[in-house]
Amino acid sequence: MRIYFRAHMASVSGLLNLCLLCVLESTALASNNHIELISENFRHILTWEAGNQSTNPTHYRVQYVDFRKRKKWNYSKECFNTTHLSCDLTDEFTDPRGQYSAKAEALMENGTSVWVNYVKLFTPIHQTILGPPTVHITGYDGYLITIQPPVCHLKSPDKQRFLSLVPDVYPELIYKVTLIKAGVTNESSRILEYLTNEGNFTTSIPDLFPMTNYCISVNATATINKNPHAIPSSWKCAVTGPMSELDYPVPAVICGCVLTFGLVLMLVLAMLKWIPVSNYSSRSYDNRIYYTEPVLLYPPEPKTFSKKSNHNIVTSTNLVDVL
């Protein structure tokens, strides 16, 4: 009976120890849903959470692997027996086209450990988030903008310098410029996109109103980067300068031509209005011959009237006397 009771107590004690061990392991490191790899501009930070009920001091170790080169797990030197809940893997993920995975190990006081894997494959050149570029504005001289690519945390093979995001890592970048009027809420924004392979990109924004305060924000993307969450730059504002003659040459030339033509037309119409019509008539009918009755300057010679009748003959002299 005693042997049976002792055996029963031993089994119960073993079961309790096993349950306690499971509780310690579950509280030392959170589940897979709480481990995350955050990458921005090729800076890679692995983060995790400890269990809420863990009271014992816990140390962590991080391992990583590049499946593109070899399937061998390596310990991170920077995160070996660390007490922090994050690990910087930037110096470990040196190949931007590599296919990486990582996992964290929790070490407890009783010597046990538990692993939590970051099972998703991560390819930096396709999945890193591109942060905000550096933007400079000159508003008075034609609203020029100069854009520098986001800072890159990848180092050269000799570890002596940081690489440039373009053209060292990406062959080209796409800058998306959002333009708005400062203080205007009911007007839609204007979106401009520029494709460049230059390290420092400078351009001007046309068709802007003079003496107007405009604000811009810029984000950077790449054609081979599949992460849609690019981080835009902070808003920067500048006032455009006054309109100059060189700003709008075509309208000035058109207005000048129209005014000149109008003045010439008015002058021609004025000249035609004051030319006498008779001048045109005389010019048109100079070659015509007119036949009119001659005008007598002296009275005609007296005529003698006679009638073959029994009456007395009346001469012109007598007619004049009668009159």
pTM of full prediction above 0.75: no
**pLDDT of 74 strictly over 70:** yes
| The predicted structure's pLDDT at residue 97 | 95
Q: By mean pLDDT, which of 218-222, 236-240, 243-247 is the weakest?
A: 243-247
| The predicted structure's pLDDT at residue 36 | 92
Q: 3-state secondary structure string, the chain?
A: CHHHHHHHHHHHHHHHHHHHHHHHHHHHCCCHHHCEEEEECCEEEEECCCCCCCCCCCEEEEEEEECCCEEEEEEEEEEEEECCCEEECCCCCCCCCCCEEEEEEEECCCCCEEEEEEEEEECHHHHCECCCCEEEEECCCCCEEEEECCCCCCECCCCCCECCHHHHHCCCEEEEEEEEECCCCCCCCEEEEEEECCCCEEEECCCCCCCCEEEEEEEEECCCCCCCCCCCCCCEEEECCCCCCCCCHHHHHHHHHHHHHHHHHHHHHHHHHHCCHHHHHHHHCCCCCCCCCCCCCCCCCCCCCCCCCCCCCCCHHHHHHHC
Closest CA to 150 of 127, 173, 177: 173
Q: Which residue has the higher pLDDT, 312 or 234?
A: 234
| The predicted structure's pLDDT at residue 167 | 92
Domains 30-126 and 134-240 share a fold: yes
142-170 pLDDT, tens digit each: 789 999 999 999 999 888 899 999 999 99
**pLDDT of 252 strictly over 70:** no
**pLDDT of 173 strictly over 90:** yes
Q: What would the mean pLDDT of 234-260 be, rounded to a whole number?
A: 72
**pLDDT of 27 strictly over 80:** no
180-222 pLDDT, tens digit each: 999 887 778 999 999 999 989 999 998 899 999 999 999 999 9
What is the architecture of the domain spanning 134-240?
Sandwich (2.60)
Q: Which residue has the higher pLDDT, 232 or 199?
A: 232
Q: Could you tell me the two tokens for 20?
A: 């306690």
Q: What would the mean pLDDT of 107-121 be, rounded to a whole number?
A: 80
* Fold (topology level) of 30-126: Immunoglobulin-like (2.60.40)
**pLDDT of 240 strictly over 60:** yes
Query: Over the chain, what is the mean pLDDT?
Result: 77
Q: What confidence tier does 6 reach under pLDDT thresholds 50, 70, 90? A: very low
| The predicted structure's pLDDT at residue 253 | 58
Closest CA to 90 of 119, 124, 116: 124
| The predicted structure's pLDDT at residue 127 | 96
Q: Domain-by-domain residue ranges, the chain? A: 30-126, 134-240
**pLDDT of 320 strictly over 70:** no
Q: What confidence tier does 245 reach under pLDDT thresholds 50, 70, 90? A: very low
- Residue 111's alpha-carbon distances to 59, 61, 182, 256, 301, in angstroms, are 11, 13, 62, 91, 167
